[in-house]
Structure 1
Amino acid sequence: MSNIRALTPRQEIRREKILSAARKLVASQGYEGMVMSDLAVIAGVSPTTLYNLFNTKDELLLEALRGLIVKNYERVGKVPEDTGWKYLLKVAENGAWLRSSEPEFGVAITDALLRAKPGDPLTKLLFEGVREDFLRSLTKMKSKGVLLDEVDPAHLATILVGNYWSTFILLNKGIERNKQLFLSTKINMLSLLASSSRGEAKQQMEDYLSQIWHSRLEEINHD
């Protein structure tokens, strides 16, 4: 991680400028093409300042990503984890929103993630971190009897993460369309959760899925 010492207001401003410039540079040049000296110029800081705040390019990228993830969870707002499927759906929806709002950066990060090795910081942040978040909510759903008895929350969390990221990978490869990314992400999440749930929650998810598909059909008919 970057230095955890307290920063002065001026240092904090410089840090945010660097992170913003890093996202733009990765979006235009790709992760491999991002050069720290170029980044310092774009951010308007000296190389010394840059390396005082971030020791390596990997560390810088992770901090830029963490900033976006914090933004994502701020958008989740006050939807508590113990609301189960609604919380999981909100996280997925805002992930899709974030991916659409930073398209070039999203492409570069997804490509970098595909090249990352098991245990890499990038893998831990974007795969393991999301899985742990999903698992906390699924565990609470299981304790409330929402999930089927035979469902293993840990296994389902892993499946949900794979399903979640596969939509972004398809978008990178031109198979998925940015226009329908938001809908696809919701359908993916709800389909898996509904098939693993029971009772009132299952019915709510199935009703919502039906509404989504109905709206999608109307869009197709008007295209």
Structure 2
Amino acid sequence: MGAKTAQVRRTNYSSPRQQERQQRILTVVREQITAAGYDGINVRDVAVASGVALKTLYNLYGSKDELMLAAVAELLSDVQQLEHVAGAEPGIPRYLAHTEAVARQIVATPAYADTVARSLFQAGRDHRLVDVLLGNSVRLLKENLQQALTQGELIENLDMEATARILAGHQWSVVLLWNKGLIALDAVPGAILRSSLLSLIPLCRGERRAQLEQQLGCLG
């Protein structure tokens, strides 16, 4: 997307009541996306279903695009805060825990995941959804790869930015294969893990590489 990073409108919720209102709104948005796709999002219906005045909803999010982006961003943030993800060892283990959690979320909410994936694959390069999904994947990967490098687990002289982009592409290629019917839904977690391991093993060394090779071998 170039140097410009897309920003999703954020509101600082200072009270439990405001936080609960945000949760209601974004839950309704995800339900509408699941039921009828992106085109099925109706801002007036979201306001009614979430018990928020239409004017207030527009003041908070501005547009239907903002609502979708906020719902996706919140879900990604929730995944990162899951106990087994946030509590994983920084570096390669945390990255793998995160990818596993994302894969499980796809299996748990396939209609929602399918709509978001289709929207991403159809979006132009400057669409903010590209940054929310692909951009965040790259940034998370880069952060964890840097940690692994600091721990002496990676080969030397890696271009972190380029490597993170390639690895993010590998992960999303599995989502594309599922979206196009080439991978069954229940096979998505294993396929994403296999793709991640095949990508990471050549970059790692020492004990970490041995651990990943053993993990790959257990997949069969």
| Smaller-chain TM-score bracket | 0.7 to 0.9
- Alpha-carbon RMSD: 1.8
1:79 equivalent to 2:88? Answer yes
CA contact (8 A) 2:13 2:19 kept: no
Q: Which sections of structure 1, spanning at least 5 residues, go unmatched?
A: 214-223
Cα distance, 1:164 vs structure 2: 0.8
Higher alpha-carbon Rg: 1
The TM-score, its normalising length taken from structure 2, stands at 0.88
1:142-161 alignment, distance < 5 Å: 142-161=149-168
Q: Which residue of 2 aligns with 1:61?
A: 68
Distance 1:70 1:3, change over 3 A: closer
Q: Which sections of structure 2, spanning at least 5 residues, go unmatched?
A: 1-7
Aligned equivalent of 2:52, options 40, 45, 61: 45
Aligned equivalent of 2:34, options 6, 24, 27: 27
Q: Which residue of 2 aligns with 1:220?
A: none
1:163-178 alignment, distance < 5 Å: 163-178=170-185
The TM-score, its normalising length taken from structure 1, stands at 0.86
Q: Which residue of 2 aligns with 1:185?
A: 192
1:204 equivalent to 2:211? Answer yes
Q: Higher mean Cα deviation, 113-122 or 59-68?
A: 113-122
Cα distance in 2, alignment partners of residues 67 and 180 from structure 1: 25
CA contact (8 A) 1:19 1:60 kept: yes
Q: Which residue of 1 aligns with 2:5?
A: none
Cα distance, 1:62 vs structure 2: 1.4
Percent identity, aligned pairs only, is 28
Aligned equivalent of 1:114, options 115, 121, 126: 121
Code of the residue aligned with 1:152 in structure 2: it is D
Distance 1:209 1:3, change over 3 A: closer
Cα distance in 1, alignment partners of residues 11 and 185 from structure 2: 37
Cα distance, 1:5 vs structure 2: 4.7
Cα distance in 1, alignment partners of residues 208 and 148 from structure 2: 10
Count of matched residue pairs: 211
CA contact (8 A) 2:69 2:129 kept: yes
